[in-house]
Amino acid sequence: MSGDTGQIGPVQRFIDDMTAVGAPARLDGPRILYEVKAVAGALAGQTVTTGVSISEVQSWPLAPPHWIHLPESVTFTQTNLDDTDCPPGWKRHSREYNYTDMSVPPALAWLRHVRGLISIAIPEAA
């Protein structure tokens, strides 16, 4: 007997859940990255790499992440940002989110939240 209880940790669960809803996720240092196709706004039709800090998914799926990591080329009219767990060229944006619709899988709800944020990104300056 190996001692494996069949349980997985929250980081792997987040990765597996995001992958299951069509946003294959992967570890990248202190964060998890995945691609999101923008469906509206200045980035419509583009695939945007985004992510979350590993430290923010320690209670997944019971509590969603708060900060969304994006390349610094993705900007917003108003945002609260910093660069914790971000490599050069990246920022993370503070976005309130509460998972309340239990009829939708948590990862799908999170993916929709991220798509909503990306839809309000402003165009890059020419």
Residue 85 token pair: 């767990």
pTM of the predicted model over 0.85? yes
**Mind listing the pLDDT tens digit for each residue in 57-84?**
999 999 999 999 999 999 999 999 999 9
- Measure the CA–CA gap between 27 and 125, rounded to whole angstroms: 31
CA atoms within 13 A on the CB side of 125: 3
Torsion sign, CA atoms 115, 119, 122, 126: positive
Torsion sign, CA atoms 13, 94, 27, 18: positive
Q: Residue for token digits 């980081």?
A: 11
As a residue count, the chain comes to: 126
**Mind listing the pLDDT tens digit for each residue in 83-93?**
999 999 999 99
Q: Does the pLDDT at position 17 exceed 70?
A: yes
